[in-house]
Chain A
Amino acid sequence: MQTLTSMTPVRAGYTKQSVGGRTRIGGFTALLWPYLLIVPSIAYLVVMLLIPLVQGAALSLTDTRLINPSGGRFVGLDNYTRLIEQPLFWQSVGTTLVYTAFTVLFAVGIGTIAALLLNRPFRGRTAVRSMMALPWALPTVATALVFSWMFNLSNGVLNRGSQALGLGQIGWLTDPRWGLVSVTMASVWAVFPLVMLVVLAAMQSIPEELYEAASLDGANAWQSFRAVTWPHITPTVRVVALLMTIWSIRRFEIIFLLTGGGPNNSTTTLVVNVYREAFQDEQLGRAAAIGVFGLLLSLVVTFVYFAAERRRTKREAH
C-alpha cells in the first residue's frame, strides 16, 4: 500500500502531490476529470447527431444539388411549400404511417407470442430459440434477396403455391395493392425476433413463486398470463413498441431493395422519398426538408409515448 509522503501547494485550487515517489496532479484537475471522461461521448453526440441535425435543417432552406453541395442558395420555405403541394409527399406520409402501424402491430404481436411459447420448457428449446432469432441476425440485403425470389411473379415459391391451389398469380411486388403488404411481411419477418428476445428476457425475470402462488389460487394458464406475466412484461413491450415504431418510420433498406418505392409509388415511404430526391433527382435541399418532416414525426411519436407513460405513472401513483 502506497503512502502519501508530501503535499506541496502550487497555486489556489491546485496541488502537486508526491505519492510513493510518483508525482500526481490533484485538486482542480481531479474536479475536471469526470467532465473530461464524458467529453468523448458529448463530442460524439455533437459531431454525429447535433451538427448533422442543424446542418440538415439549414440545408432544407436551400436549393442545394447533390453534385454541387456547396453551391446552394437560400430559398426560405420554398422546399416546404413545394412538399405540401406535392401529392406524392402526402401519399408517402400515409404509406409510412400504414407501414409503421402494421409492422409494429405484427412484429410486437408475433414476437410476444413467440416469447410466450419459447418460455415454456421443451426438448430442443435452445436450438429453436436460436433458429427463431436468425431473421434478426441475417443481413437485410440477404433477407430482401430471399423475399424478392419468394415474391417473384412467375417463379416465386408463393405464386407457385397459389397456382397449385388454383388461386392464380399474385403480383406481390408488381401490383400496387400488394406491394405494401409484401414489404410489411418481409419487415415483420426480419424484426419480430428482437421483440421475442427482449420479451423473453423480461419473462425470465418474473419470480417463479408468483406462478406457484397463482397456481395455488387455482389460476389457469390464461389467468396466470393476465395476472402475472402480462403486468410484468408490459413496460418492456411498451418500450420495444416505441423503438419498433421509430425504426419503422426510418426503415429504408428492405423497402428499397424489394420495391424501390414501387409499384406505382405504393411503397414510397418518407425515407424512400428522401433517397429519391437526394440521390436520383439530386435535390439535397428538398430531401432535407422531407428529412426534417420525418424527424418531427418521430419526435411526435416519442412525445406521445412519454406523455402516455407519465399519465399512466400518475394514475398508478394515485
Chain B
Amino acid sequence: MRISRKSFAVAIASAGALALTSCAAATPTDDGAPVSITFANWEFTNGEAGERLWEQVADYTGPDGNVTLVKEATAFTSFSDKLNTELGAGGGPDVFLVQDAQFNSLARAGLLEPLDDVYERVADGLNASNDDAVIDGVRYGLNWERPNYAMLYNAALLEQAQVEVPTTFQELLQAAEAIQSATGAQGFAGRTSTTELDGWALEMGNWVFGHGGALAVDGEVTLNSAENVAALESFAELYRSGAMTVGDDSSTFRTKFGQGQIGFMFDNAGAIVSMASNADPSISSQFHAAPLPFETPTVVANPTWIVVNPHGKHIEAAKDFVEWVVNPTAQQRISSVQGAIRFATDVELTDEFIAANPWGLELLALSDDSRTTVVPGFEEDTKALWREFLTAAEAVLVGGADVQDALDQAQTIVEQDLG
C-alpha cells in the first residue's frame, strides 16, 4: 500500500489546524471581554421555587457589565458527590454552595479560594451567621443561607384528627397514629434509608440533639451513648408504629406533604418553601412549624456557604459575584424566594410573606437554638461518622437489629477506622 505526499501533507495540515483551534479556544479572555461564570446550587432543582430563585440572580452582569451567570442545577441527593469528583479532578463550577459537613474537608484540601479580601469589603453589613466560615484564620466562604429544622405540620389534618400540636415524643406518636386512622393521611414522614445519606443525617440530627446526644464529646466518639440509643429507639418506635411513610424518598414524601397527605415532618426552611410554592394555597395555608417534641429544644441548622473554586477560570469575577450576593438588594431578592432563613445579612420578612406563610416566623424563632451536624473535633470525618450511625439505624429499622448492639458495632467500626 502506498500513500502520496499530498495525503501526508493534508493529514499534517489538518492535525496542525486542530491543534491551533484548541489553542485558540484556551486563550484567556481579555479584560472587559465577556466572561461566563457557572453557579452550582441544588436549590435550582426545587421546582417553581428553584426557578424563581434563579430569576433573582440570573440578571447579574458584574461590576463591568460583562459577566454572564450560568446555572448549574444538580439535585441535592447527588450534589456533594458530583462536586467532590469535579473538584478533585481540578474542575468544577466557578461559584458553588457547599454544606457545612463538606466545607471543612474541601477547605483543608485546598479546594476553596480564600475570601478574606471579599469579607473585608463587605464585613460591615454581615451578621454573625458568617463567623463559622473561617478555618485556621482564613475565610473560605460567606453565608448563603442557614436554614434550620422544625416540626412541620398540616393544621387541617390535626384538626380533623382532633389532636393538639405534640410537645413530647409520645404525643407525636399518638398524634401521628390518630391522623392516620382518622384521615387516611400518613401520620409522619421522613427519610429512612442510607440511599439519601446527607439528607437523612440532617434529619436524624434532630432526633440525636433532641435527646441530648452527640456523635462525639470532648474529642471522643460517642455513637453508642445512652442519649443516642434513646434517640434511635424513639425513631424506630415511630417507624414501626405504621404511622410513618416507609419506602418513599424525600421528593415523594415532600410532594405528598404539599398535597396535604402527611401530618408531620421534621424538615427545614428551604424544603417548606419549595413545598409551599408548589402546593395549592388552600393546603399550603395549613402549613405550620413548631419546636421539636423533645426535651432538648436544639434543632439542626444546615449552614450553606457560598464559595469560590480556586481552579476556576475567572476567580476575580466569581469573587465579585459573591460580594454582590451579600449586598442588601440581592439579599432582599433572595430572601423574597427563600423566606424564613437566616441569611448573611439581617433581612426582614415582608408582611406579604408572613401573611402568606404563617410558618415563617414560627420557624425563624427556632433558629436561635440550632446547631450543625458537623461533629466537633472530627470535622473532616463527619460524613463517615454519620454514615456509620445511619447504617446502624438502617440495620435496626429494616434488619431488626437491637439498637444498642447496632450502635456498639458502629462505634467499634469507627474506632478502628479512625485509629
A residues neighboring B (CB under 8 Å): 17, 22-26, 29-30, 33-34, 65-69, 71, 152-154, 171, 173-176, 259-265, 279-282
Which residues from A are CB-within-8-Å of B193?
Answer: 174, 260, 262-263
Contact digits for B1-21, partner A, Cβ 8 Å, 1 yes 0 no: 111111010000000000000
| A-B residue pairs in contact (CB < 8 Å), sample of 15 | A22-B4, A25-B2, A66-B84, A67-B106, A67-B111, A68-B110, A69-B88, A154-B245, A174-B246, A174-B247, A174-B398, A260-B195, A262-B195, A279-B84, A280-B81
Question: If A17-B2, A66-B88 touch, does A265 touch B81 (CB 8 Å cutoff)?
Answer: no
Q: With A152-B248, A153-B247, A280-B81 given, can you name 13 additional A-B contacts, CB distance below 8 Å?
A: A25-B8, A30-B2, A66-B85, A67-B109, A68-B109, A154-B248, A176-B399, A259-B195, A260-B193, A263-B193, A264-B394, A264-B398, A282-B105
Is the Cβ of B109 less than 8 Å from the Cβ of A65?
A: yes
Closest to A149 in B: B252
Contact digits for B94-130, partner A, Cβ 8 Å, 1 yes 0 no: 0000000000011001110000000000000000000
In the assembled complex, the Cα of A29 lies from the Cα of B196 at a distance in Å of 60
Q: Which of B105, B248, B395 contacts A264 (CB 8 A)?
A: B395
In the assembled complex, the Cα of A69 lies from the Cα of B89 at a distance in Å of 7
In the assembled complex, the Cα of A280 lies from the Cα of B195 at a distance in Å of 11
Question: If A176-B399, A281-B383 touch, does A67 touch B105 (CB 8 Å cutoff)?
Answer: yes
Is the Cβ of B81 less than 8 Å from the Cβ of A34?
A: no
Closest to A264 in B: B399
Which residues from A are CB-within-8-Å of B8?
Answer: 25
Whole-angstrom distance from the CB of A87 to the nearest CB of chain B?
Answer: 9
Whether a CB of chain A sits under 8 angstroms from the CB of B371 is no
Is the Cβ of B4 less than 8 Å from the Cβ of A23?
A: yes
In the assembled complex, the Cα of A30 lies from the Cα of B1 at a distance in Å of 5
Query: Count of chain B residues with Cβ under 8 Å from any Cβ of A?
Result: 36
Which residues from A are CB-within-8-Å of B89?
Answer: 69
Cβ-Cβ contact count across A and B, 8 Å cutoff: 96
Closest to A64 in B: B88
Is the Cβ of B398 less than 8 Å from the Cβ of A33?
A: no
User: Secondary structure of the A side of the interface?
Assistant: loop
Which residues from B are CB-within-8-Å of A175?
Answer: 398
Whole-angstrom distance from the CB of A292 to the nearest CB of chain B?
Answer: 20
Whole-angstrom distance from the CB of B95 to the nearest CB of chain A?
Answer: 18
Whether a CB of chain A sits under 8 angstroms from the CB of B286 is no
In the assembled complex, the Cα of A65 lies from the Cα of B394 at a distance in Å of 26
In the assembled complex, the Cα of A25 lies from the Cα of B2 at a distance in Å of 6
Whole-angstrom distance from the CB of B181 to the nearest CB of chain A?
Answer: 16
Is the Cβ of B384 less than 8 Å from the Cβ of A24?
A: no
Q: Which of B5, B383, B398 contacts A25 (CB 8 A)?
A: B5
Which residues from A are CB-within-8-Å of B196?
Answer: 260
In the assembled complex, the Cα of A69 lies from the Cα of B8 at a distance in Å of 41
Which residues from B are CB-within-8-Å of A17?
Answer: 2
Question: If A153-B246, A176-B398, A176-B399 touch, does A262 touch B194 (CB 8 Å cutoff)?
Answer: yes
Which residues from A are CB-within-8-Å of B204?
Answer: none
In the assembled complex, the Cα of A68 lies from the Cα of B4 at a distance in Å of 50
In the assembled complex, the Cα of A261 lies from the Cα of B194 at a distance in Å of 9
Interface residue ranges of B14-69 to A (CB < 8 Å) = none
Closest to B2 in A: A24
Q: Which of B247, B383, B394 contacts A173 (CB 8 A)?
A: B247
Closest to B193 in A: A262
In the assembled complex, the Cα of A34 lies from the Cα of B89 at a distance in Å of 37
In the assembled complex, the Cα of A279 lies from the Cα of B78 at a distance in Å of 10
Closest to A283 in B: B384
Is the Cβ of B195 less than 8 Å from the Cβ of A67?
A: no
In the assembled complex, the Cα of A84 lies from the Cα of B247 at a distance in Å of 32
Is the Cβ of B111 less than 8 Å from the Cβ of A281?
A: no
Report, nearest first, the 4 A-B pairs whose CB atoms are least far apart. Answer: A260-B195, A153-B247, A264-B399, A263-B398
Whether a CB of chain A sits under 8 angstroms from the CB of B325 is no
In the assembled complex, the Cα of A267 lies from the Cα of B337 at a distance in Å of 40
Whether a CB of chain A sits under 8 angstroms from the CB of B87 is yes
Which residues from A are CB-within-8-Å of B106?
Answer: 67
In the assembled complex, the Cα of A25 lies from the Cα of B9 at a distance in Å of 13
